[in-house]
Amino acid sequence: MKIAVMGYGTIGSGVVDVLRINKEKITKRAGEPVDVKYILDLREFPGDPMEDAIVHDYQTIVNDPEIGIVVETMGGVEPAYTFVKAMLEAGKQVATSNKNLVAAKGAELIKIARDHNVNFQFEASVGGGIPIIRPLNKCLTADEIEEITGILNGTTNYMLTKMAEEGADFDEVLKDAQEKGYAEKDPTADIEGHDPCRKIAILTSLMCGRQVDFEDIHCEGITKITADDFKYAKVLNRSIKLLASSRKVGNSYSCMVAPFMLSAEHPLCGVNGVFNGIFVHGNVLGDAMFYGSGAGKLPTASAVVADIVDMTKHKNTNIYIDWSPEKLTLVDYKDSVNSFFVRTSSGKETIENAFGSVEYADAGIAGEIGFTTKDMTEAEFEKAAAQIEVRNRIRLG
Ligand X SMILES: N[C@@H](CC=O)C(=O)O
Ligand Y SMILES: NC(=O)C1=CN([C@@H]2O[C@H](COP(=O)(O)OP(=O)(O)OC[C@H]3O[C@@H](n4cnc5c(N)ncnc54)[C@H](OP(=O)(O)O)[C@@H]3O)[C@@H](O)[C@H]2O)C=CC1
Whether the Cβ atoms of residue 232 and residue 343 lie closer than 8 Å to each other = yes
Query: Is residue 230 part of the contact set for ligand Y (CB under 6 A)?
Result: no
Query: Is residue 59 part of the contact set for ligand Y (CB under 6 A)?
Result: no
Q: Which residue, 26 or 301, has its beta carbon nearer to ligand X?
A: 301
Query: Is residue 302 part of the contact set for ligand Y (CB under 6 A)?
Result: no
According to DSSP, the residues that pair with 371 across neighbouring strands are 342, 360
Q: Is 127 annotated as a binding residue?
A: no
Q: Which residue, 39 or 301, has its beta carbon nearer to ligand X?
A: 301
Q: Is 162 a catalytic residue?
A: no
Shortest CA distance to 294 belongs to which of 219, 174, 182? Answer: 182
Query: Is residue 40 part of the contact set for ligand Y (CB under 6 A)?
Result: yes
Choose the binding region for ligand Y from 19-27, 39-47, 157-165, 246-254 (rule: CB under 6 A).
39-47
Q: Which of 105, 162, 199, 297 is catalytic?
A: 199
Query: Is residue 307 part of the contact set for ligand X (CB under 6 A)?
Result: no
190 touches which of ligand X, ligand Y, none (CB within 5 to 8 A by kind)?
ligand X
According to DSSP, the residues that pair with 246 across neighbouring strands are 148, 255
Q: Is 7 annotated as a binding residue?
A: yes
Give min distance, CB of 301 to ligand X, in A: 12
Which residues are CB-contacts of 289 (< 8 A; sequence separation ≥ 6)? Answer: 267, 277, 278, 279, 280
- Alpha-carbon distances, residue 189 vs 72, 76, 193 (angstroms): 19, 11, 6
Query: Is residue 323 part of the contact set for ligand X (CB under 6 A)?
Result: no
- Among 296, 321, 333, 371, indicate the residue that binds ligand Y (CB under 6 A): 296
Dist CA 342 CA 394 (whole Å): 7
Choose the binding region for ligand X from 43-51, 54-62, 183-191, 245-253 (rule: CB under 6 A).
183-191
Whether the Cβ atoms of residue 38 and residue 59 lie closer than 8 Å to each other = no
Number of H helices, E strands in the chain: 14, 18
Residues 276-305 that bind ligand X (CB under 6 A): 294-295
- Alpha-carbon distances, residue 187 vs 74, 123, 220, 238 (angstroms): 15, 22, 14, 26
CB atoms within 10 A of CB 241: 25
Dist CA 198 CA 186 (whole Å): 15
Give min distance, CB of 147 to ligand X, in A: 21
Q: Which residue, 113 or 303, has its beta carbon nearer to ligand X?
A: 303
Binding site for ligand X (CB under 6 A): 128, 153-155, 182-184, 190, 195, 294-295
Binding site for ligand Y (CB under 6 A): 7-12, 40-43, 73-75, 79, 97-100, 124, 128, 181-182, 184-185, 295-296, 300
Residues labelled catalytic: 199
